[in-house]
Structure 1
Amino acid sequence: MRTRNWMTTGEAAVLLRSSRAHVVDLCLRGLLPYVTIDGQRRIRRCDVEALIRPGMTREQAQILWLHRAVAGRLVQDPGAIMAAAAINLRRLRRLHPDGRAWEWLDRWDAVLEQGVEAVLDALTSSAEYAIELRAASPFAGILTETERRRVLAAFAASRADHARPMRPEKFERVLRSV
């Protein structure tokens, strides 16, 4: 089994048991995040696997959608958004002077220090570490209330578009073939 992080739309289609056109449609509707490299879509394996075997609760999925919108704002104005996150992080440290929250605040501190690319990954990834990290996010207040409501309405409308669940043994067999 290959362990590459990025997949083509064809490879994603094999995992999702769908057509390449369906994968492209999921990408275009914003249900499957992708990047374009040399004119071709590349999709993170963890995002495809999250569609097959959703490991997120509804609340975690909502938080992911909200953070993907924050990622859009980050791309538009990296300096301002990174500064706002740093300010929020300091405020959260004052609100939670001790306890378990510091572990996540320290992790966010490390991500912010790595720069915009690392922050974008934490904001948009379906990986388990990112799900846990977003639960203590320093990006509160980045979206306006109107933007927030639009994102949540789009999330609610998308809930019927998830891939069919697959038995674990079949999932492993499909993964080995890709």
Structure 2
Amino acid sequence: MSYWADGPQGNVFDNGLQAGSAIMRQAVAGGLSCLPGATLLFAPHEGSYARFAPDSLAPTSASWGYENRSCAIRIPAGDPAERRIEHRAAGADTNPYLVMAAILGGGIAGIEDGLAPPEPVIGSAYGQRVLQFPMDWDGAIERFSGSPRMARIFPAELIETMSAVKRQEQHQLAKLSAAGTVMALMDAV
């Protein structure tokens, strides 16, 4: 994600330095504040959570850093004129429209509210004391359904419907799992 203004300014995240502009850091802070509530959008299925493991290069916390692939939000190195935010929490099994809405909505909220992010993570983000996001499907559904940040970005009807659909998917999956266990026990006898 980057933010371009009309006219000579161009990329608003660029301040001529590697650190990026204050607006970029506000967008980072907004993205971090939304991440726990939006985890269901970034990992929409039970199997989506298998990739969230320490040292897997998939993030496990609402963290950010420069050129740091263990963080959920990474600021890639390179020409400051091309400064951008890389969001690393979403998997390949997502709805890209909902993911983009959450990412952009978080960034805009951070800019509008003038949020400040914590210090960037240096070294591995795994095991550091940073805000954790839900590491399981059930926790992600709970956080999404009750998140004030998600309520700011998405209509209440979408939040309620998505939460209900995911609860129904959980119920169906539990029934299939229980039926499979019974069949396996019968085969063993």
TM (norm. structure 1) is 0.28
Bigger Rg over Cα: 2
Task: Decide which structure has greater helix share.
Answer: 1
